[in-house]
Amino acid sequence: MITYIKHLKLFVNIVLLTVVFHSCTKHETGQFDFNKLKKKINSYPVYERINKWDSLIKSNLNDTLTPYLYHQRGNAYYFMDKIDYAIKDFATAVKLFEKGNNKKMLAESYLHLGAAYTDIDQSVTAGPYIFKGLDIGKELNDPEIISHAYTELAHIYYLNDDIDNTIKYLKKTAGLYKKIKDTIGLSLIYNNIAMVYKKKKNVKPAIQYLNKILDLHIEAKLEPYNLMILYTNLGCLTFEETKNKNKAYKYFNKALKIANRNKIKPVRTYRNIALMYEKLNEIDSAEFYIQKAIKIYDKNDKHKIKLYNKLIKLILKQKKDTSTLNILVIRDSLDKLNKKMLEKNNQIALESNLKILNQQKELSQAKKINKKNKIIFSFIIILFILGLVLSFQFNRFDTLKHKQELVILEQKILRSQMNPHFIFNVLSSIQSSLLEKKQMVSATYLSKFAKLMRQNFDYIQKRKIPIKDELDLIKNYLDTQKFRFKDKFDYVINVDDKLKTDKYFIPPMILQPFVENAIKHGFANIPYKGLITINVLKKDDKICFEIIDNGTGYNPPKKDNKEHAMDIFKKRLFILGKETYDSFKITRLNPGTKVEFCFNKKL
């Protein structure tokens, strides 16, 4: 039944493509008009669009359409924030459009590919694609493409804190929008220029550009919400420049009147009025406007919680109790983090226990069936066949036993990673930095620590993850430990240029035990700065890892009844095969330790 439904959906999509394809006209240039098909599919929610474009690509009815389909599916992936998938589709569209004669779509694909790379902080890769799109736009004298390219270049410069070039390209875009009389696009660009000037602490030109938007409003009516935000921004900037609350409040009041007329919730306006009064130390007025913002919300979402936190701070300010305020902020942030981690820990532990119980039930049932079969076969089959059957049953039992050992091993790995002492020590370090008023440092490492916890929870449930994800996890772990030990050590990660880390998979959290051992034992009593070097190498058909430290050197653990992280690691290698297990080697250096092991590329 499920297979029938899948075929039916594919058939419907093929019919859709065929009908739209034959109903579309052609331009005088001979190029296929794709707008009808695009408009039809883009009327669906974003997540459904991906399935639609995917079905049409697989049906492959017409080669002319193929580059358009990849471009549109890339757009859908981009809106879903699946940037890696979007990059692949845009790159495919570029290759296909390069073979054709539609230069406008080729330019658009270049620009979308550049924008996608910019979103993952790869502006060096993004730049050439954007300039290629810009060159085609200039060749075609197409203001739409040229303005798109200028906007993307402005974005790259903004991300690299080059404010002058950001403004330069935004002004070029504004010039093009003026030329084609696109007042809506021009108002958006003016707003971007104003916000860039604001970041530069250059308030006067920021106000000028916001007033230009008001001039445009006479020509093309802005949406009420956008007009409300515009007057709110003017109020903020006017106060920042003049420190005159009456001048600023004139703009805030206009924003509130627009909100009232159009039944818009002016939370942002109330919040900024409260901020103005707080800066003037008029705490009663600030509290009044925060209270008005809180009343707008009809449920306890994260925005309402933030407003309540702001209210608490204002109340405490009135009492001049700054120490209580700091402690309250620290307590709230740490409590929230602890609650989230405990909830996630409990959920994973519960799921793990249920999985083990189910597997134990299956093992128990399998044993009962085996016992029953032995009794039956002992009476009806000759000894020779009985021997074969018993051999088969014993092999099956060994397989089940192996699976049970694997489950137990996974549980041990779960317990051995990220132990409570580590979590408590990191949180204590973050708390100390907060008390020392190092808010930016605390925020950075709180974010890294939260990401590390999420990676730990996600990856431990998987048998294999890409090398890229493993290296990302170990970087977060090392950064967190560096913060905890106050930069007592450095680290370097070297990856073979020939190795595509997103193509090859390894068991998760395979590096962490050795890195932890180097930090905990190797660097414990050294009088110099520690260094951990991780090398990832491609050797023939193997992926090899080297973990090198300059600590006190490797000392084998004392023999006792406890199972150490090294024992668990060896069992993991043994399960993967003798060749993998034999590759493991620990070498004592002077100073330090070198650990080596390799995996087959087809792991």
Element (H, E) at 598: strand 593-600
Question: What gap in Å lies between CA 84 and CA 468, rounded to an integer?
Answer: 13
Whether residue 191 lies inside any domain: the answer is no
Phi and psi at 591, nearest 5°, equal: -95, 170
CA atoms within 13 A on the CB side of 558: 1
Type of residue at 391 = S
Whether residue 124 lies inside any domain: the answer is yes
Same domain, 310 and 341: no
Is 534:490 a contact under the CB 8 Å cutoff? no
Same domain, 356 and 238: no
| Three-class SS state of 343 | helix
Start-end of H helices in 297-438: 302-318, 322-380, 383-416, 420-435
Element (H, E) at 596: strand 593-600
Whether residue 546 lies inside any domain: the answer is yes
Same domain, 385 and 280: no
Same domain, 437 and 552: yes
Last residue in a domain, options 118, 137, 160: 160
- Could you count the other beta carbons within 10 Å of the beta carbon of residue 461? 13
Q: Give me the DSSP letters along 255-288.
A: HHHHHHHHT---HHHHHHHHHHHHHTT-HHHHHH
Type of residue at 35 = N
Same domain, 407 and 428: no
Same domain, 4 and 130: yes
Same domain, 453 and 305: no
Last residue in a domain, options 320, 343, 370: 320
Whether residue 41 lies inside any domain: the answer is yes
| pLDDT tens, position by position, 289-338 | 888 887 886 554 556 666 677 677 777 776 655 544 554 564 465 456 55
Is 91:110 a contact under the CB 8 Å cutoff? no
Instruction: Indicate the pTM of the whole model.
Output: 0.43
Same domain, 447 and 530: yes
pLDDT of residue 405: 58
Return contacts of 496-500, CB within 8 angstroms, 24+ apart: 496/536, 496/537, 496/538, 498/538, 499/467, 499/536, 499/537, 499/538, 499/543
For the chain, which ranges sit under pLDDT 70?
Answer: 1-34, 60-62, 218-222, 297-307, 310, 318-361, 363-364, 377, 387, 389-439, 557-565, 603
- The set of residues, in sequence order, having a beta carbon less than 8 Å from that of 42 and lying 6+ positions away, is 49
Return the closest-CA partner of residue 189 out of 170, 208, 161, 162: 170
From start to end of 404-541, where are the E strands? 465-466, 489-495, 505-506, 530-539
Last residue in a domain, options 320, 343, 358: 320
Same domain, 397 and 461: no
What is the count of structural domains for the chain?
Answer: 4
- Could you count the other beta carbons within 10 Å of the beta carbon of residue 126? 24
Q: Could you tell me how far CA 349 lies from the centroid of its own chain?
A: 25
| pLDDT tens, position by position, 327-361 | 456 446 545 655 565 556 555 544 554 565 566 66
Return the closest-CA partner of residue 555 out of 593, 513, 514: 593
Return the closest-CA partner of residue 404 out of 373, 372, 367: 367
Question: What gap in Å lies between CA 507 and CA 603, rounded to an integer?
Answer: 9
Whether residue 213 lies inside any domain: the answer is no
Q: Output the CA angle 501-502-504, nearest 5 degrees.
A: 70
- The set of residues, in sequence order, having a beta carbon less than 8 Å from that of 110 and lying 6+ positions away, is 94, 129, 130, 132, 133, 136
Return the closest-CA partner of residue 37 out of 75, 60, 65, 6: 65
Whether residue 185 lies inside any domain: the answer is no
Element (H, E) at 600: strand 593-600
Is 532:512 a contact under the CB 8 Å cutoff? no
Is 163:200 a contact under the CB 8 Å cutoff? yes
pLDDT of residue 180: 81
pLDDT of residue 11: 38
Same domain, 140 and 13: yes
Whether residue 182 lies inside any domain: the answer is no
Same domain, 364 and 468: no
Return the closest-CA partner of residue 510 out of 568, 556, 594, 450: 568
Type of residue at 603 = L
- List, in sequence order, every residue forming a beta bridge with 490; answer none if it has no partner: 531
What CATH number should be reported for the domain holding residue 584? 3.30.565.10
Q: Give me the DSSP letters along 535-595.
A: EEEEETTEEEEEEEE-SS---PPPP-SS--HHHHHHHHHHHH-HHHHHT-EEEE-SSSEEE
According to DSSP, the β-strands at 489-495 and 585-588 are unpaired
Whether residue 212 lies inside any domain: the answer is no
What CATH number should be reported for the domain holding residue 87? 1.25.40.10
| 426-452 as b/e: b if 16+ CB within 10 A | bbebbeebbeeeeeeebeebbebbeeb
Name the CA dihedral angle for 427, 428, 434, 439, rounded to a multiple of 10 degrees: -40
Same domain, 294 and 429: no
Is 57:70 a contact under the CB 8 Å cutoff? yes
- Could you count the other beta carbons within 10 Å of the beta carbon of residue 43? 9
Residue 95 tokens read as: 């290759």
- Distances, alpha carbon 189 to alpha carbons 135, 155, 195, 597, in Å: 22, 12, 10, 55
Q: Give me the DSSP letters along 235-262.
A: HHHHHHHH--HHHHHHHHHHHHHHHHHH
Domain with 399 in it: 334-416
Question: What gap in Å lies between CA 254 and CA 20, rounded to an integer?
Answer: 48
pLDDT of residue 9: 38
pLDDT of residue 469: 92
CA end-to-end distance (rounded Å), the chain = 35
